[in-house]
């Protein structure tokens, strides 16, 4: 079974660019990824593309071949849709095919155009990742759903809005040096607490923004990397995927995310590591409470203690296990179809010392990327390691 090497990464800036199309964004990301990799486009065997709301935002389905064309690639192409975990799912399938020897070179990534819909339109579009019959028709939105999860967490384990505010402050601080981040601005705990409430206990600064953007990865087999003498020191050594009931009312526990736990456990076994081996992580913080739940599901924090991780400095840039050094979804942005691939790109750059925040993790050798869909009804986890 072949190792999977991250040969190249490419990201557009994440932000508010309503006039740019999805194909335009993805083309930009792929240009950067191919330049970074040194792999010619004609060597690509397959394209794996993540996108969630293309039909609603651009009246465009069948995006796989469209995005292959935008990337200048002639190869079989498939679009993956798993809500906000679309690109993470695309990465997982690419990893499996590369390992199995079915292909040697994959172009993987995703894009999303969201801001052209406006806040109301994008909120409605995102809501279709929830259960239409039991949640959407009752007026539930994702801020409301995650607010329910936060309240359930506070009731069972303790914590309050101030604890969550430290998550937002940390991630905004991490984004200050990330030129691709949507928000490169410092905020304080007071800023978070004094901001308008979106859905109690979550306020404006507890929520990720609407974002446009794209991410691309050139992944290769180890054999291809060796044969072509690629500078690709980072490998994807672990991959996992988990699932859960769609609607919150059908779950046994609102303050835990079993899909992430399943995905993490599978990825750890696959990579042959323990959670304690992880040096840094990019986790899916669409809301501040989501980062807390992810830390506990991935066994990076004990159950009930993730709430204090940012406040006590354990997950800050200079902490024991830095989390979301990119700025996370919270500050870097969340173009949903691109997020999973962008997390892999950020981890790879951090591990290869090619990131503005690499100075905080100079000795890091193992990183983790956690991508979640909806209220974590779906999740993927990938382990990345430095191979030399």
In this model, does residue 158 exceed pLDDT 90? yes
CA–CA dist 336, 126 (Å, integer): 9
Domain that holds residue 75: 4-117+209-386
CA–CA dist 328, 175 (Å, integer): 8
Is 64 part of any domain? yes
Q: At what angle do helices 258-271 and 288-297 cross, to 10 degrees?
A: 50
Using CA atoms, how far residue 280 sits from 57, 121, 293, in Å, is: 34, 35, 16
Q: How confident is the model at residue 172 (pLDDT cuts 50, 70, 90)?
A: very high
Query: Mean of the pLDDT values across residues 256-261?
Result: 98
The alpha carbon dihedral of 252, 256, 259, 265 has a sign of negative
Q: In the chain, pLDDT over 70 holds for what percent of residues?
A: 99
What is the model's pTM? 0.97
Is 38 part of any domain? yes
pLDDT of residue 388: 82
Q: Give me the phi and psi of 227, to 5 degrees please.
A: -65, -35
Is 354 part of any domain? yes
Q: Give me the phi and psi of 323, to 5 degrees please.
A: -125, 130
Q: What is the pLDDT of residues 320-333, one digit of tens each?
A: 999 999 999 999 99
pLDDT of residue 202: 98
In this model, does residue 1 exceed pLDDT 70? no
Q: At what angle do helices 22-37 and 63-70 cross, to 10 degrees?
A: 50
CA–CA dist 88, 371 (Å, integer): 6
Is 318 part of any domain? yes
Query: Mean of the pLDDT values across residues 291-301?
Result: 98
pLDDT of residue 94: 98
Is 131 part of any domain? no
Query: Mean of the pLDDT values across residues 212-222?
Result: 98
Helix (H, G, I), strand (E, B) or coil at 112: strand
Query: Mean of the pLDDT values across residues 122-137?
Result: 94
pLDDT of residue 200: 95
DSSP label at residue 205: G
Cβ atoms 58, 118 nearer than 8 A: no
Cβ atoms 330, 211 nearer than 8 A: no
CA–CA dist 244, 61 (Å, integer): 26
CA–CA dist 382, 108 (Å, integer): 14
Query: Mean of the pLDDT values across residues 363-367?
Result: 97
Q: Considering its fold, how many domains does the chain have in total?
A: 1
Q: In the chain, pLDDT over 90 holds for what percent of residues?
A: 98
**What are the residue numbers of the active site?**
84, 334
Q: How confident is the model at residue 3 (pLDDT cuts 50, 70, 90)?
A: confident
pLDDT of residue 110: 98
Query: Mean of the pLDDT values across residues 25-52?
Result: 98
Is 178 part of any domain? no
CA–CA dist 230, 384 (Å, integer): 17
Is 136 part of any domain? no
CATH code of residue 332? 3.40.47.10
Q: At what angle do helices 142-157 and 118-127 cross, to 10 degrees?
A: 70
Is 89 part of any domain? yes
Query: Mean of the pLDDT values across residues 41-63?
Result: 97
CA–CA dist 239, 351 (Å, integer): 17
Mean pLDDT for the chain?
97
């Amino acid at each position: 079974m072949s190792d999977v090497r991250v040969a190249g990464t490419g990201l557009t800036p994440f932000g508010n660019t309503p006039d740019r199309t999805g194909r335009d964004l993805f083309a930009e990301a792929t240009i950067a990824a191919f330049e970074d990799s040194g792999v010619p486009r004609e060597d690509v065997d397959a394209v794996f593309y993540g996108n969630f709301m293309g039909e609603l935002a651009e009246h465009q389905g069948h995006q796989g071949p469209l995005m292959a064309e935008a990337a200048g690639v002639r190869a079989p192409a498939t679009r993956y849709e798993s809500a906000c975990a679309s690109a993470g799912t695309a990465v997982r399938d690419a990893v499996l095919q590369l390992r199995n020897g079915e292909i040697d070179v994959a172009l993987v990534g995703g894009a999303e155009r969201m801001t052209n819909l406006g806040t109301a339109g994008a909120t409605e579009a995102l809501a279709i990742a929830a259960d239409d019959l039991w949640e959407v028709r009752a007026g539930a939105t994702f801020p409301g759903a995650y607010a329910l999860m936060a309240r359930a967490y506070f009731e069972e384990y303790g914590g309050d809005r101030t604890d969550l505010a430290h998550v937002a402050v940390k991630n905004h601080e991490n984004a200050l040096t990330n030129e691709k981040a949507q928000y490169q601005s410092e905020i304080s705990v007071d800023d978070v607490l004094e901001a308008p409430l979106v859905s109690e206990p979550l306020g404006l600064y507890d929520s990720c923004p609407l974002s446009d953007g794209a991410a691309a990865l050139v992944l290769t087999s180890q054999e291809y990397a060796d044969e072509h003498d690629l500078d690709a020191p980072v490998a994807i050594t672990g991959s996992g995927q988990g699932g859960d009931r769609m609607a919150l009312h059908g779950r046994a526990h609102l303050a835990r995310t079993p899909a992430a736990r399943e995905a993490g456990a599978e990825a750890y076994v696959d990579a042959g590591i323990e959670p304690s081996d992880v040096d840094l992580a990019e986790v899916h913080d669409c809301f501040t409470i989501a980062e807390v739940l992810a830390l506990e599901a991935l066994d990076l924090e004990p159950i009930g203690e993730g709430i204090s991780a940012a406040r006590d400095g354990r997950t800050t840039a200079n902490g024991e296990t830095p989390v979301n050094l990119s700025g996370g979804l919270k500050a870097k942005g969340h173009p949903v179809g691109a997020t999973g691939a962008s997390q892999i790109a950020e981890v790879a750059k951090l591990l290869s010392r090619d990131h503005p925040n690499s100075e905080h993790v100079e000795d890091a050798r193992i990183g983790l990327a956690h991508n979640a869909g909806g209220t974590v009804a779906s999740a993927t986890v990938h382990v990345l390691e430095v191979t030399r």
